[in-house]
Amino acid sequence: MRKLVIANWKMYYGPVKAGAWIRAFRRERLPKDLDIGVAVPHVSLAAARSSLGRAGVPLLGGQDVFWANDGAYTGEISPAMLKEFGLSFCLVGHSERRVNLGETDEMVAKKAAALQKAGIQPVVCVGETDAQKKKGETLKVVRAQLAACLQGVKGDGAARPAIAYEPVWAIGSGKPCSPLDAKNVHEAIREVLVKKYGKASAQEIRILYGGSVDPRNVAEYVSTTHVDGVLVGSSSLDPRAFGMLCRAALPA
Ligand code: 13P
């Protein structure tokens, strides 16, 4: 399976800054065998759509979505609307949304299933908090999140899900999860996927690691068993650092 690197711009770049990032990123040399995506804020989708492909980023993504295709849901954005922008994927259940907006596993499952219906790949984010890790509950928490977040989500087809394991304590902390710990969690995630979808489909589902990934540590993750790519926050904000990270992920 080709490795996948996704930049998550979070709430940083509006259309003007998005345009500047993309122009700068065009100068970066990128490995041909690497899949690269950027999850952009909704308001920057129009700016990104027209130029991201030319900058060597074929996969345009969103950071959130609502589960209905239309209706009286003020402020929300539907899967059909995202599809109009040609989105390939969309994050769902990022821990920042769970913490700041009370997003539940049930909501995440509805969003993921709705994205699939629109032909957009959901990237389902799971991960334990620091307190849960300290209590030794990592695998229990991640398994429970997966079971709930994948309710009604299909395991095959072009819009098959990807899973992002992002331990909450590792996000933006500069303290990444060790590759060995990530391997163990990813292995457990793969087991859940095999049970739910069967071996053939489960092997096609990418499991990404996210949390303080940078150009220096990315190669270690990407070469770890069951780590099919990375989801990158801080180190994706500087286009040169992100270019460096992509090259380090798959050295020539
Ligand atoms: P950092 O790379 O800044 O730790 O963020 C990770 C993340 O939340 C990506 O979704």
Q: What is the pLDDT of residues 140-149, one digit of tens each?
A: 999 999 999 9
Mean pLDDT confidence for 16-21: 96
Instruction: Report the residue among 4, 10, 123, 242 best suited for mutation to probe ligand 1: largest number of ligand atoms under 8 A from its CB.
Output: 10
Phi-psi region of 36 (alpha: psi -120 to 50; beta: other; left: phi over 0): beta
CB 37 within 8 A of CB 59: yes
Residue 53's pLDDT is: 87
Region 67-88: mean pLDDT is: 96
pLDDT above 70 covers what percent of the chain? 100
Three-state secondary structure call for residue 6: strand
Give distance in angstroms: CA of 173 to centre of ligand 1. Answer: 9
* Predicted confidence band of residue 252 (pLDDT cuts 50, 70, 90): low
Active site residue 166: yes
Say if ligand 1 is within 6 A of residue 211 CB: yes
**Mean pLDDT along residues 41-59:** 92
158-169 pLDDT tens trace: 999 999 999 999
Encoded amino acid at 23, one letter: R
Q: Which residue has the tokens 């913490």?
A: 99
pLDDT (mean) for 4-13: 98
Residue 50 has pLDDT above 90, yes or no: no
Cβ within 8 Å of residue 191, ≥6 positions away: none
Which of 232, 242, 245 best tests ligand 1's pocket when mutated (most atoms within 8 Å of CB)? 232
pTM attached to this predicted model: 0.97
Band of the pLDDT at 251, cuts 50, 70, 90? confident
Residue type (1 letter), 228: D
Confidence of residue 198 (pLDDT cuts 50, 70, 90): very high
Helices (H), 121-178: 130-134, 138-149
Are residues 132 and 88 in contact, defined by beta-carbon separation less than 8 angstroms? no
- If one compares 50 and 142, the residue with the highest pLDDT of the two is 142
Is there a catalytic annotation at residue 128? Answer: no
233 lines ligand 1 (CB under 6 A): yes
* 232 within ligand 1 shell (Cβ under 6 A): yes
